[in-house]
Chain A
């Protein structure tokens, strides 16, 4: 019954709904079938897909089977003393929050949406608002079970099979199928965040604020108005936060500090007409957003959901960008060149009218996985609807990013060229050696790996 061979043919895309590709989907209900799928060799190539929250083409395999992990979500062990959770790769951050926040634990690193799987978090070594202090998801991973192309299940960690470990953390699903992950959660006293929101008049002020508070607050982020220009270039609202201790809460909340009431979730359920997101509407939106915050410096206590996942309340907000979809352009820029590079990028956006509803600036710390995105410095993310002229504009940005020693986040990418990718990721050759070793026949592929020409090096046999 329902052998992997009968995978459902379907149109697939990432969160940005660009590009739309067709592929075969298969959804196993247990890890053992996940493994058999690979062993059956029925499909030339295989790729795991978590919740499809990467924006571009990383979670689609157009030439073989795309395997959904959503039902591979068993939690296998939790150590109440250390906070170490051992679970299958399809468990989502949302599930972890539901189960563990009431027990006083929180993911050590979480991206800006809770609808991602643990497998997806490992595969892109995701970062959170605390990257400058705490690093990325991979740092908290004690071990990973990977099914290799040979069908063999291998446990790897920083000590054991460490090459495979560092190639799999951030490895975009291209080294094997991750079936289990063991990683640690952090203890919390309450489900609330001490939040501080400060207005910055321009980029210089924003950067100065990040630096001033980088050791004081665990979490930080800035919302930038990327259409502002001149002296206001880079004007933004910075949000800082830290887990609230029991004593930080108002007395009324102290009796039940770990439970927050569930939020209502809204649905868009239709595509907005194209052109609705134009420089005019974006400018107005940003103006309103910045006018909304009256004070220069506001402190409050908010629940973790509102602080970390403001976008999740609109279940399918990706439809707001219309049928043609959108891309997110997220770059990391090294510390030394950040100010100059960011100024140039924002200037270009503002000049050419390529604004973004959401423009987010974050501080980053050290990188770990070989293809992991972060580097000490800053990251800027811009959402852009797909329309004529976009590719040319983004290529211009690519050149700036390379020139300043930065790189793009492949979890968001749908258009980078193979050459540009290589220029941005200096540890790629090291990674490729492991890929060649564990997957010589290139059984793990994705639309992204094909576009970026990521494949094992063909070694010609020596006499």
Chain B
């Protein structure tokens, strides 16, 4: 798989930054994008100083759907060619607030699902025509089963997983590979200082496994890998029992 020019959306997330660093070390040309463009710029400069490879950046707003076509055109111009896209955006949000306030719920849905669908629509069409490339979508194990503690975030990620699955079969015949990544707990701001965290993986570990899975052309990659078995069990619990658990 060609891996010379890559677009990373949601580049300020710790996992995206770690993936960007790993690609930069291989000499890949990068375009980074995210909502907090000042922070995107800092991440980009850091990579430019450390790895001395070509890098550009721009701002990306998940909910500004109208801007997405333009955004992609500009990124393409900067990159020259597009080998692949990593979409790592999304936010956990506040389930408690979202339960009583749809505006909150909508924000979670837009940043984790609708916004991703919008930009990937443009990306998919481009790569399909080009008949080559890859898409890595960062979903979550939370999308594998609805739980009372975070079903709004979970449902958006679950929707994203299904979207990517469909996209994968559509793009297969044009030689474009779509990979769904389902991370478990990662040592980021979402988990730091939260009680009851276990099996927390570093962003670097996750990045290494994601790129390894891409080389192996995996369809769905649980990272770290043992989350496959954890989710296998969690999915297997019958609903009649699951709804009684405090998960």
Q: Could you list which residues of chain A lie within 8 angstroms of chain B, going by C-beta atoms?
A: 1-2, 6-8, 25-33, 71, 73-78, 85, 87-88, 99
Contact = CB atoms under 8 A, between A and B. Distances in A.
Nearest to A80: B52
A75 B94 CA distance: 32
A28 B190 CA distance: 11
Contacts of B36: 30, 32
Contacts of A30: 12, 36, 39, 42
A144 B40 CA distance: 22
Contact of B42 (A7, A27, A28, A31): A31
Secondary structure at the B interface, as helix, strand, loop or mixed, is loop
Given A28-B189, A30-B39, 13 more contacts: A1-B94, A2-B190, A2-B192, A7-B193, A8-B192, A27-B189, A29-B189, A31-B42, A32-B38, A74-B42, A75-B45, A76-B46, A88-B42
A29 B12 CA distance: 9
A8 B193 contact: yes
Interface string B59-93: 00000000000000000000000000000000111
Given A29-B14, A32-B39, A1 B45 contact: no
Contact of A74 (B14, B46, B189, B190): B46
B2 interface: no
A32 B45 CA distance: 16
B201 interface: no
B66 to A, nearest CB: 27
B194 interface: yes
A27 B43 CA distance: 17
A74 B189 CA distance: 17
Contact of A99 (B14, B50, B91): B50
Contacts of A6: 193-194
A88 B41 CA distance: 13
Interface string B7-41: 00000101000000000000000000000101100
B174 interface: no
28 contacts: A1-B91, A1-B92, A2-B190, A2-B193, A6-B193, A6-B194, A8-B192, A25-B193, A26-B192, A26-B193, A27-B189, A28-B189, A29-B14, A29-B188, A30-B12, A30-B36, A30-B39, A30-B42, A33-B189, A74-B42, A74-B45, A74-B46, A75-B45, A75-B46, A77-B49, A78-B49, A87-B49, A99-B50
Contacts of A75: 45-46, 49-50
Nearest to A7: B193
A2 B194 contact: yes
Contacts of B193: 2, 6-8, 25-27
Interface of B: 12, 14, 36, 38-39, 42-43, 45-46, 49-50, 91-94, 188-190, 192-194
Nearest to A4: B193
Contact of A27 (B38, B45, B93, B192): B192
Most buried by A among B12, B36, B49: B49
B72 to A, nearest CB: 26
Most buried by B among A1, A29, A73, A88: A29
Given A30-B12, A76-B42, A1 B93 contact: yes
Contacts of B12: 29-30
A133 B227 CA distance: 56
A30 B194 CA distance: 19
A80 to B, nearest CB: 10
Given A2-B189, A71-B14, A76 B194 contact: no
Contacts of B91: 1
Contacts of A29: 12, 14, 188-189
A87 to B, nearest CB: 8
Contacts of A76: 42, 45-46, 49
Nearest to A91: B46
A74 B43 CA distance: 7
A368 B192 CA distance: 38
Contacts of A8: 192-193
Nearest to B13: A29
Contacts of B49: 75-78, 85, 87, 99
Contacts of A73: 46
A27 B192 CA distance: 7
A75 B43 CA distance: 8
Nearest to B191: A2
A88 B42 CA distance: 10
Nearest to B45: A76
A87 B192 CA distance: 24
A78 B50 CA distance: 9
Contacts of A78: 49
Contacts of A74: 42-43, 45-46
Contacts of B192: 2, 8, 26-27
Contacts of B38: 32
A1 B93 CA distance: 7
* Closest CB pairs A-B (n = 3): A8-B193, A74-B46, A75-B49
Nearest to A103: B52
Contact of B190 (A1, A25, A71, A77): A1
Nearest to A98: B50
A198 to B, nearest CB: 39
Contacts of A1: 91-94, 189-190
A25 B93 CA distance: 22
Contacts of A32: 36, 38-39
Contacts of B14: 29, 71
Contacts of B50: 75, 99
A67 to B, nearest CB: 12
A32 B12 CA distance: 12
Contacts of B43: 74
A31 to B, nearest CB: 7
A74 B50 CA distance: 9
Nearest to A72: B42
B36 to A, nearest CB: 7
A32 B35 CA distance: 14
Contacts of A26: 192-193
A85 B48 CA distance: 13
